[in-house]
Amino acid sequence: MQNYLAFDLGAESGRAILGTLAEGRLTLEELHRFPNTPVRLPTGLYWDTLRLFHEMQEGLRIAGRKRRLVLDGIGVDTWGVDFGLLGRDGALVDNPRHYRDSRNNGMLEKTFAAVPREEIFAQTGIQFMQFNSLCQLHAMKLAGAPALRVAAKLLFMPDLFNYWLTGIQKAELTIASTSQFYNPVEKGWAVPLFDRLGICADILPEIVPPGTALGPVLPDLADSCGTGDFTVYATAGHDTASAVAAAPGKGSDWCYISSGTWSLMGVELGAPVVNARSLELNLTNEVGAEGRIRLLKNIAGMWLVQECRRAWAAEGKQYTYDELAKMAAAAPPFAAVIDPDAFLEPGRMPEKIVAYCTEKGQKAPEEPGTFCRIILESLALRYRQVLESIESLLGRTFSTIHIVGGGSRNRVLNQFVAGATGRRVVAGPSEATAAGNILVQAMGAGRLSGLAEARECVAQSFELAEFQPRNSEEWQIPYQRFTELAR
CB atoms within 10 A of CB 342: 14
**What is the average per-residue pLDDT within 201-229?**
95
> What average pLDDT does this structure show over 256-275?
96
Band (pLDDT 50/70/90 cuts) for residue 267 is very high
Q: Could you list the active site residues?
A: 239
Evaluate if residue 472 carries a pLDDT over 90. Answer: no
* Distance between CA atoms of residues 78 and 158, nearest Å: 6
Q: Which amino acid is at 478?
A: P
Whether pTM > 0.85 for this model: the answer is yes
Amino acid letter, residue 209: P
- What average pLDDT does this structure show over 364-393? 98
Residues 339-364 have a mean pLDDT of 94
> In terms of Cα–Cα distance, which of 302, 382, 384, 372 is closest to 333?
372
Q: Write the secondary structure of 377-429 as one string of H (helix), E (strand) and C (coil).
A: HHHHHHHHHHHHHHHHHHCCCCCEEEEECHHHHCHHHHHHHHHHHCCEEEECC
8 Å CB contact between 322 and 358: no
Return d(Cα 134, Cα 128) in angstroms, integer.
10
pLDDT tens, residue by residue, 68-108 = 999 999 999 999 999 999 999 999 999 999 999 999 999 99
Q: Which amino acid is at 432?
A: A
Confirm if 97 and 48 have CB atoms less than 8 A apart.
no
pLDDT level of residue 485 (50, 70, 90 thresholds): confident
Question: Residue 363, exposed/middle/buried by CB under 10 A (0-12, 13-18, 19+)?
Answer: exposed
Selection from 307, 297, 227 nearest residue 265 by Cα: 297
- Per-residue pLDDT, averaged over 372-396, amounts to 98
- Is the predicted pLDDT of residue 109 greater than 90, yes or no? yes
Residues 6+ apart with CB under 8 A from 266: 255, 256, 283, 284, 294, 295, 296, 297, 390
CB atoms within 10 A of CB 485: 16
| Mean pLDDT of all residues in 247-259 | 95
Percentage of the chain with pLDDT > 90? 95
Average pLDDT in the 157-171 region?
98
Q: What is the mean pLDDT of residues 249-270?
A: 94
Report all structural domains of the chain as residue ranges with CATH numbers, in order of start: 2-237 (3.30.420.40), 247-428+449-487 (3.30.420.40)
- Average pLDDT of the chain is 96
Contacts of 128 (CB under 8 A, 6+ apart): 108, 117, 120, 121, 180, 282
pLDDT of residue 1: 84
**Is the predicted pLDDT of residue 346 greater than 90, yes or no?**
no
Amino acid at 418: A
| Mean pLDDT, range 119-130, rounded to an integer | 96
Mean pLDDT of 382-395: 97
Closest CA to 328 of 374, 383, 259: 374
Q: Does the pLDDT of residue 142 top 80, yes or no?
A: yes
* Phi, psi dihedral angles at 404 (to 5 degrees): -125, 165
Question: What is the rounded average pLDDT of the residues 214-230?
Answer: 93
pLDDT at 486 over 80: no
Does the pLDDT at position 487 exceed 70?
no
The Cα–Cα gap between 171 and 164 comes to 13
Contacts of 392 (CB under 8 A, 6+ apart): none
The predicted model gives 346-351 an average pLDDT of 94
Is 181's pLDDT higher than 90? yes
Q: What is the mean pLDDT of residues 218-236?
A: 94
